[in-house]
A and B are shown apart, each in its own frame.
Chain A
Amino acid sequence: MEDNKKDNTFLARWIDGKLNPKELADFEKSDEYHEYKKIAEASDSLVMPKYDKEKAYRKLLGEIKSARKTKQLVPSWLTGLAASVLIIFGIYFMFRSTTVTTDSGETLVHILPDSSEVVLNSKSKITYNKRSWDKQRSIKLEGEAFFKVRRGAKFEVLSNENTVQVLGTEFNIRSYNNFFEVTCFKGKVKAMAEGGQAILLPGQAFRSIHSRIEEYTFEKEIPDWINGESSFVRVPILHVIRALEDNYKLTIEYGNIDLSQEFTGSFSLTDLNLALETVFSAMNITYSMKDSNTIILSGK
């Protein structure tokens, strides 16, 4: 039984001992059951640092009597900090902004605080603030990522000067220099770039290449790159070359070829030779390996 098949209070009822015998028996057979059991047992033995009620009460009475005539000299967060240094083990509540990056050829799934998901493509980076996430779902993106957003308040992706706003949905963003593309897979997405904006429904895409705004449609359930392919629809070859470079950690010297010619198709993210062949033979471009990291192109 997968998480998504259960109703949204299932685990709460389980840990509270409120499942009916049938539900419980089914759950106990599932793969994740023992993982949840471990969490339940371990969390049961968590305790808070001791609380000295009498001492706290005496302190309170002291405060009430002095009626807060004195100002606090040391900010309370500072004393908190000093005290916390003495404590050796424990939870870190991370309140600074969180950055997640991927290197060439890597992809990574990252779960946001509200359990929205970001799948990062290679050479990409997201930054957001965990502390204020509850109030403001706002995330910065460089590169390419696929978002599965939990329903809730406005969810905003900022990249360069472009913005994408959604409520709860699935969409992909590719954002590089002079290249911004949003594809919507579920729900509704509002994409904004300099010079234009669009509200996208599933199967619709919006992009701005060198400030030229364009909308188009596609037929896919998820982005190709999730399945190991990167695909393009009438994209200037320059951006395809950049994607190849990012994914395979290459330098591609493009000599005198026409960089504005457009490429439609996909390339493998796992097999370099296949990728080069599919892109460049389709475009009538010859390529040769200068060394293991450098490729030279020339027109046929």
Chain B
Amino acid sequence: MSICESNTFKRVFDKYSETIRNFIYYKCGDLEKAEDLTQEAFIKLWNNCAKVLLDKAKSFLFTVANNLFLNDYAHEKVILQHRKLITIDQNTETPQFIIEEEEFKQKLKNAIANLTSAQREVFLLNRIDKKTYKEIAVIVGISEKAVEKRMHNALVNLRKEIKNHI
């Protein structure tokens, strides 16, 4: 099966595009950019479809997206402030409980924004995209052990940061 066949290409897109978009978003905090770079990574995959084997498509995409991000990031001079984007599931608890929970979530979100991008991407790929450490290791291109360390440190830092703001 070749990626040059449009059905195969579509399947690859369906399978990985959302994770790539989230992965880049966790790095830069800019959703538009994350979606642009994801698209660009797939254009590159399409242009190289004859050279990239199907089982290498995933690592090709993540590597390309990451490189695009790094280059873009290095040239970017003006970035003001990147707003939000992570919203929260609605729940149906009692009002007071919701208020406290929302307050805590706000603190958590601020603390997440203050993580290093290396820790943030591991933490959010696990918490939001429900990726296993093994999967994250492939996406980020580090060992599984290194993923666990980053996850551990992310949690330590989040707790510290949240505590500092109480």
Contacts and interface: CB of A to CB of B under 8 A. Distances in A.
Contacts of A12: 133, 147-152, 155
Contacts, number: 193
A76 interface: yes
A77 B80 CA distance: 10
Interface in B116-166: 116-118, 123-124, 126-128, 132-133, 145, 147-153, 155-164
By secondary structure, the B interface counts as: helix
B92 to A, nearest CB: 13
Given A43-B123, A60-B13, A60-B42, A91 B156 contact: no
A79 B80 CA distance: 13
A287 B83 CA distance: 55
A96 B81 CA distance: 8
A32 interface: yes
B17 A133 contact: no
B51 interface: no
Given A91-B110, A93-B28, A111-B161, A10 B152 contact: yes
B14 interface: yes
B86 A47 contact: yes
A57 B110 contact: no
A56 B89 contact: no
A56 B116 contact: no
Given A46-B127, A87-B85, A89-B87, A115 B80 contact: no
B31 A80 contact: yes
Contact of B156 (A3, A13, A53, A133): A3
A35 interface: yes
B: contact size bracket: 35 or more
B88 A47 contact: yes
Interface in A41-74: 42-49, 51, 53, 56-57, 59-60, 63-64, 68
Contacts of B38: 56
B159 A32 contact: yes
B160 A111 contact: yes
Given A59-B39, A63-B43, A79-B32, A95 B160 contact: no
Interface of A: 3, 6, 8-13, 15-16, 32, 35-36, 38-39, 42-49, 51, 53, 56-57, 59-60, 63-64, 68, 76-77, 79-81, 83-85, 87-96, 109, 111, 113-115, 130-131, 133-134
Interface of B: 10, 13-14, 17-18, 21-22, 25, 28-33, 35-36, 38-39, 42-43, 46, 76, 78-89, 91, 101, 104-106, 108-110, 112-118, 123-124, 126-128, 132-133, 145, 147-153, 155-164
5 contacts: A47-B89, A53-B13, A53-B14, A80-B32, A92-B83
